[in-house]
Amino acid sequence: MSEHFRVQGGARLAGEVGVVGAKNSVLKLMAAALLAEGTTTITNCPEILDVPLMADVLRSLGCTVEIDGDRVTIDTPAEINHEAVSPSMGKLRASVCVLGPLVARCRKAVVTLPGGDAIGSRPLDMHQSGLRQLGATSYIEHGAVVAEAQDLRGAQIWLDFPSVGATENILMAAVLAEGTTVIDNAAREPEIVDLSVMLQQMGAKIEGAGTSTLTVHGVPSLRAVEHRVIGDRIVGATWAFAAAATRGDITVRGVNPGHLNLVLEKLRTAGAEVTCGNEEFRVVMRNRPQAVDYVTLPYPGFPTDLQPMALALSAVADGTSMITENLFESRFRFIEELVRMGADARTDGHHAVVRGQERLSSAPVWATDIRAGVGLVLAGLCADGVTEVWDVFHIDRGYPNFVENMRALGADVTRVSS
């Protein structure tokens, strides 16, 4: 069944919205459950499509998985299957994060190459290189990553780029390796810290989480635990941009504002009033936003996941913005849809120049990934008439209760099946 969102422009969003667990964390925490025999419980899980998809992947490996609202229970047996070839593997990028745990537990893994958003090249070279330095062989064969090791041994590993996925896979393999592993130029995202905290609760010995150097002292085994997922900073920031774009007033609860320091500072520069509390913040935009430049970088830089929201805000800002995309070359596909709505935007390589318009015009548009879909909804709120946003299954993969939250804040957004 094809579904789209019908977005009536002109609403000013105001009110409070709660944020649940981070999509970019929960799937990796679920994979980490493979590292220990027993029952792992993960709470504050977002009710998004990717969670049951990851559950299917874990079931194919021999786990029993139950999902009850925001609670996921994973029963991992003593012997697990090392072949992750579930059809769900091809539907989400994060499925590759079972590679490290499988190599650690089984000393071998066959993992179908993952799918996910169409935002550009995301090779697995660093994942494989890290595993090789730990003592494994790794290659790609018949559409799958194959890795095998007699023993895993600690190593000094330098990442060419602070890749989140590579950091996570190497970290989860290293916790059960013999000796000490040092990962230099590691990713620093809060989701890496969340994974490290859970692994430490399981008995892993990890130092330096949140810094560019992770030191892992291998242990013989880990134990199953219960862990609460951190709030989703990308979803929280999305509501912040919604407030700024619609000249609204939104209080966001359930996310650490310290994870969004640069993002919130950009909104202040654009003219918003931003106040922060404990696990909450408020964004108020009283006038037309001012143009701001954005450069996407690994954390603590501006997140690439928020680039479509920055483009939508820039499209209605006063002045000209330059957005530089340094991580995923296909993120700018979103601009083609934004131009359909009357945005004055041009791209040149990994730069986009956007001259803000007082108002956009409604049009039928298509989401190409999770964040682009939400960016188009924000643009639709700033347009005259009714905008139809198609392929909204992308949005469902990252934003639980999206329409309900939008309507609670005063937006006229409805889901239409056809």
Pairing of β 156-158 and β 180-184? parallel
Report whether pLDDT(122) > 60.
no
Collapsing DSSP to helix, strand or coil, 362 comes out as: coil
Are residues 181 and 220 in contact, defined by beta-carbon separation less than 8 angstroms?
A: no
DSSP H helices in 136-206: 164-174, 190-201
Q: For residue 88, what pLDDT is reported?
A: 77
* CA distances in angstroms from 301 to 208, 265, 307, 352, 366, listed in the order given: 19, 12, 12, 18, 28
Are residues 414 and 63 in contact, defined by beta-carbon separation less than 8 angstroms?
A: no
Check the annotation: does 327 bind a ligand.
Answer: yes
Report whether pLDDT(84) > 50.
yes
Q: How far apart are CA 22 and CA 229, in angstroms?
A: 7
Residues near 171 by Cβ (< 8 Å), separated by ≥ 6? 100, 183, 186, 192, 195, 196, 199, 206, 214, 216
Catalytic residues: 117
Collapsing DSSP to helix, strand or coil, 405 comes out as: helix
Domains of the chain, CATH where assigned: 3-19+231-417 (3.65.10.10), 23-228 (3.65.10.10)
Instruction: Pick the closest to residue 5 from 396, 330, 369 (CA basis).
Output: 396
Check the annotation: does 91 bind a ligand.
Answer: no
φ/ψ bin of 255: left (φ > 0), alpha (ψ from -120 to 50), beta (otherwise)? beta
Tell me: the pLDDT tens digits for 379-389?
999 999 999 99
Residues near 288 by Cβ (< 8 Å), separated by ≥ 6? 247, 271, 316, 317, 318, 358
Predicted confidence band of residue 329 (pLDDT cuts 50, 70, 90): low
Tell how far CA 346 is from the center of its chain.
26
Instruction: Pick the closest to residue 270 from 293, 292, 237, 239 (CA basis).
Output: 292
Tell me: the pLDDT tens digits for 166-214?
999 999 999 999 999 999 999 999 999 999 999 999 999 999 999 999 9
Q: For residue 118, what pLDDT is reported?
A: 41
Q: What is the CA radius of gyration of the chain?
A: 21
Q: For residue 173, what pLDDT is reported?
A: 98
Tell me: the pLDDT tens digits for 346-371?
999 899 999 999 999 999 999 999 99
DSSP H helices in 98-138: 99-106, 125-133
Check the annotation: does 23 bind a ligand.
Answer: yes
Check the annotation: does 81 bind a ligand.
Answer: no
How much is the pTM?
0.94
> Would you state the structure tokens that stand for residue 370, as one six-digit string?
């999770």
Check the annotation: does 169 bind a ligand.
Answer: no
